[in-house]
Chains A and B, each alone.
Chain A
Amino acid sequence: MSEEQDQNYPEIREAVQRLCADFPGPYWQKHDRDRSYPIEFVNALTEAGFLSVLIPEEYGGSGLGLRAASAILEEIHRAGCNGGACHAQMYTMGTLLRHGSKEQKERYLPKITTGEIRLQAFGVTEPTSGTDTSRISTFARREGDNYIVKGQKIWISRAEHSDLMVLLVRTTKRQDVKKPTDGMSVLLVDMNDAIGNGLTIQPIRTMLNHATTELFFDDLKVPVENLIGTEGNGFRYIIDGMNAERTLIAAECIGDGRFFVDRATKYASERSVFGQPIAKNQGIQFPIARAYIQISAAAEMVNKAARLFDEDQKMGSEANMAKMLASEASWFAADMCLQTHGGFGFAEEYDIERKFRETRLYQVAPISTNLILSHVATHVLGMPKSF
């Protein structure tokens, strides 16, 4: 297909494709059925070094940047695999990298590079705050050399499969600070120490195999040395991590969209009804073409967001727009692909229904479409905030 001509990182893409070929549909179907963690796939990606491309070379990573990371995740998803089990290992360390102390970085980053330490849990959302992050109430009170954490988090993905978690807490109550986003701090939580000592993890079953959880903190001790940056400035530290996350999720949507277009094109060209391949029908071929066009357009925006990030430029709006366009394009493609396959699309062995469920997530997570529209309305177009 023509998009291959201008795709970046062809060698990386090819290597990812080779790796993914070892994890075909039945592998994912089994984990999906059991709602189990695809550890073999995660290990293979780690060993191949694909999860450490954002880590600078001085800490053992390849320091390639967000465009390379996007290419990796896109290919994973295009192959029918799913990066959701480990994509956060790529970017969660960004908070540590950009805002952690030299000592913290030296202690953790090399081991994150090798996968010895998994840092892929990002504890922000709470049941009562939703996207309104400044309203979180999980509180860390200072007691000697420790913080004592009390509260609750929800939709914390991969908490059971992480050694470290980046946790956003309040260290000053909302009513006691000037700006609502002040008074929050970021702690690095050692999950192996924490579980059973004040942290309880409750898995949440969802419509897809995504290891998300609810966390309960009951006087969990976190050493003060695990504070990232300075106390009270935590909100700022997590924001740029979110932009990388949104861009990478968008890249996954592009991969999903290409998966659906590939599969639909192939199926429609081979499947014969009324004596001709169904792809000969405009009612079939036009929606596939439309999906391809929408994915191609969204891919340009994802590319732009990743490039700006790599160039250290402001890219919050681009990351948001890329995520919205890509998640809507992949959802259109998913719906189209299911429809194109008719009854077969519902059969597990075709992987269409699984990918359909998986890609639906991205209009909601990690930020919902409405919040993106609101961001663009207020921050790009200068209209008054609507809430």
Chain B
Amino acid sequence: MAALNEEQNMLKDAATSWVRGRAPVTELRKLRDSGSTLGYDPALYAEMAEMGWTGIIIPEEYDGVGFGYRGLGVILEELGKTLTASPLISSSLASVCALTLGGSSLQKETWLPKISDGSVIATVAVDESHRHAPLKTALSATPTGNSWTLNGIKMPVPEGMGANFLIVSARTSGKPGDRDGITLFLVKATTDGLTRTPMHQIDSRYPAKFIFDQVSVEGDAILGDVDEGADLLEQILDRACAGTAAEMLGTASQALETTLEYLKIREQFGQIIGSFQALQHRAVAMFGEIELTRTAVEAALDALDDNSDDIPQLVSLAKIMACETLKLVSNEMVQMHGGIGMTDEHDAGLYLKRARVVAASYGNAAYHRERYAQINGF
């Protein structure tokens, strides 16, 4: 692991102890069994906000702490370890970036302090089907005087059930698939004509399906420039993706950790199963993959903090690695636990289910491979 600075170390210590004390995997079970369709526990999120995590990448002038992407990555990794559900990525990472990179002074002043103190939750609504394809945006926005009318569907929208406002990608010209003609809008969740329904997911989250039926917004709802939102959108998604990869890294390392603990106590044929080479070697192989993924995730987060020009490549690389590694480790977690790993009582199944969902979040490995190949001119 590359060295952390003093602030990042502090964040890591705080996150480690908070996650262990306040958000163990049992919290996810409680959330699942509660019947709530919010998809996260607001009380836990309020605690995160109190600790300042919701404002990690928000500049100080907007009441954040400005600790950067690496700092947020440290926290997301810890949250990933216990599968903690929260709007931290969609609100405090993706939406914050949308505002800091593309927002007007007024938009920033209005929303950033509220996201920072946790009183407002935002999310970025891009996908319109189960396939992540940002440029395929079809939801239409047509101008009428000084306002715009939005019609279409957004789904699945992460943490959409708790969001107070959405950053929506809409098509203002051209056809789905075109790079030109995408515009981003800020839309309050309570706007007339906008309805949302929860989508039940295997990882106990509830993304929302939003239907836009003649939703009218004023011209000042536009984020960035009309028809030229694709670049901004990609920058937002890159940041969300890097954070997601950091969370996946945490999930994978805990899945291995839990498995290793089991290998050291479970006995078969009179010996601890961890003494079998066949299992030892596979555990070592997983460790190797996790370390490699860590390097890729750190490189992506550092590139974001340095604003270097290879951000897209490094982010896609990190997401690919995180997807492959977490898939491997979550599969092996079940396999190495044997029968007990198949039960609901054991956490292995929760890791497996979360691994599958988060792999598809902000583009799966296949999407990012294709993107990586295109960026590099393969």
Contact = CB atoms under 8 A, between A and B. Distances in A.
9 contacts: A281-B277, A282-B276, A282-B277, A282-B278, A283-B277, A283-B278, A283-B281, A286-B277, A286-B278
Interface string B254-276: 00000000000000000000001
Nearest to B278: A282
B288 to A, nearest CB: 15
A283 B284 CA distance: 12
Interface string A284-306: 00100000000000000000000
Contacts of B281: 283
A269 to B, nearest CB: 17
Contacts of B278: 282-283, 286
A334 B278 CA distance: 20
A299 B76 CA distance: 50
Contacts of A286: 277-278
A283 B281 CA distance: 7
A64 to B, nearest CB: 43
Contacts of A281: 277
Interface residues of B, number: 4
A62 B278 CA distance: 49
Interface in B90-139: none
Interface residues of A, number: 4
A362 to B, nearest CB: 27
A286 B278 CA distance: 8
Interface in A260-282: 281-282
A283 B278 CA distance: 6
A286 B276 CA distance: 11
Residue among A281, A282, A286 with max Cβ neighbours from chain B (10 Å): A282
A84 B142 CA distance: 69
A282 B281 CA distance: 10
Contacts of B277: 281-283, 286
Nearest to A286: B278
Contact residues of A: prevailing secondary structure: helix
Interface of A: 281-283, 286
Nearest to B276: A282
Contacts of A282: 276-278
B262 to A, nearest CB: 18
A347 to B, nearest CB: 26
Leading 4 A-B pairs by shortest Cβ distance: A282-B277, A282-B278, A283-B277, A286-B278
B179 to A, nearest CB: 25
A286 B277 CA distance: 10
A129 to B, nearest CB: 24
B278 to A, nearest CB: 4
Nearest to A281: B277
Contacts of B276: 282
Nearest to A283: B277
A34 to B, nearest CB: 41
Nearest to A284: B277
Given A282-B277, A283-B277, A283-B278, 6 more contacts: A281-B277, A282-B276, A282-B278, A283-B281, A286-B277, A286-B278
A266 B340 CA distance: 38
Contacts of A283: 277-278, 281
Interface string B271-314: 00000111001000000000000000000000000000000000
A282 B276 CA distance: 7
A223 to B, nearest CB: 50
A102 to B, nearest CB: 55
A283 B277 CA distance: 6
Nearest to B275: A282
A281 B278 CA distance: 9
B294 to A, nearest CB: 26
A186 to B, nearest CB: 39
Interface in B30-83: none
A283 B282 CA distance: 10
A292 to B, nearest CB: 16
A386 to B, nearest CB: 15
B281 to A, nearest CB: 6
B263 to A, nearest CB: 14
A22 to B, nearest CB: 41
A40 B276 CA distance: 49
B376 to A, nearest CB: 21
A85 to B, nearest CB: 39
A384 B261 CA distance: 48
A286 B281 CA distance: 12
A244 B276 CA distance: 45
B286 to A, nearest CB: 15
A4 to B, nearest CB: 28
B283 to A, nearest CB: 12
A153 to B, nearest CB: 31
A53 B142 CA distance: 77
A282 B269 CA distance: 15
Nearest to B279: A282
A318 to B, nearest CB: 30
A277 B64 CA distance: 63
A290 to B, nearest CB: 10
A283 B276 CA distance: 9
Nearest to A280: B277
Residue among B276, B277, B281 with max Cβ neighbours from chain A (10 Å): B277
Nearest to B281: A283
A284 to B, nearest CB: 8
A288 to B, nearest CB: 12
A142 B276 CA distance: 71
B15 to A, nearest CB: 37
A39 B278 CA distance: 45
A319 B295 CA distance: 44
A280 to B, nearest CB: 10
A281 B276 CA distance: 9
B243 to A, nearest CB: 35
B172 to A, nearest CB: 34
A100 B276 CA distance: 62
A218 to B, nearest CB: 39
B280 to A, nearest CB: 8
A61 to B, nearest CB: 49
A273 to B, nearest CB: 13
A284 B281 CA distance: 11
